[in-house]
Amino acid sequence: MKKYTYSAKQSDNNDNWYVVDAEGAVLGRLATSIASRLRGKHNPLYTPHTDMGDSIIVVNADKVILTGKKWDQKCYYRHSGYIGGLRTTTAKELLEKKPEDIIRFAVKGMLPKNRLGRKLFKKLKVYAGDKHPHKAQQPEILELKEKRS
């Protein structure tokens, strides 16, 4: 009898929707659990080259926690392409302007840097407040253990 390793296909994925509340959660721990869910590593049919993950909605992104002095010391960089065009933004400034981007940048850095990673990243929806427009998908609440009180 021949034995083989089962390789999951895209049609095997039941794309579930989950809501994650980021209030009181530490950024790095939150981002790792979200990236793992997006990738599908919780699924017994996990296959590295296939999208087996779920869609994640993150609410209360403006209430995420950074430990230590990271609010002032953590910098986000972007470059305009011109000489001397490097621009830096601290985490505190980014929280005031675009609080959703703090979680987006953290999760995007934990996903693969290829076509699959870009596809997985589109399944992440982040909102600053506690409202989201995805009621039609009937998302379930996903409780994470890494919460600070």
DSSP class per residue in 74-86: -EEEEE-SSTT-E
CA–CA distance, 96 with 73 (Å, rounded to integer): 15
User: What is the Cα–Cα distance from 66 to 74, expressed in whole angstroms?
Assistant: 9
Rg from Cα positions in the chain: 17
User: At residue 145, does pLDDT exceed 80?
Assistant: no
Q: pLDDT tens digit string along 81-134?
A: 999 999 999 999 999 999 999 999 999 999 999 999 999 999 999 999 999 999
User: Residue 10 has what pLDDT?
Assistant: 87
pLDDT of 147 strictly over 80:
no
Q: Which CATH superfamily is domain 16-141 in?
A: Ribosomal protein L13 (3.90.1180.10)
75-79 vs 86-90, strand pairing mode: antiparallel
| The token pair that represents 2 in the structure block | 């021949």
Mean pLDDT over 55-59 rounds to 97
Distance CA 59, CA 123 (A): 14
On the question of pLDDT at 146 being above 90, the answer is no
Q: What is the mean pLDDT of residues 134-142?
A: 95
| pLDDT tens by residue, 3-49 | 888 888 988 888 899 999 999 999 999 999 999 999 999 999 999 99
* Closest listed residue to residue 107, CA positions, set 57, 47, 52, 51: 57
- pTM metric for this prediction: 0.92
- Residue 144: band (very low, low, confident or very high) from pLDDT cuts 50, 70, 90: confident
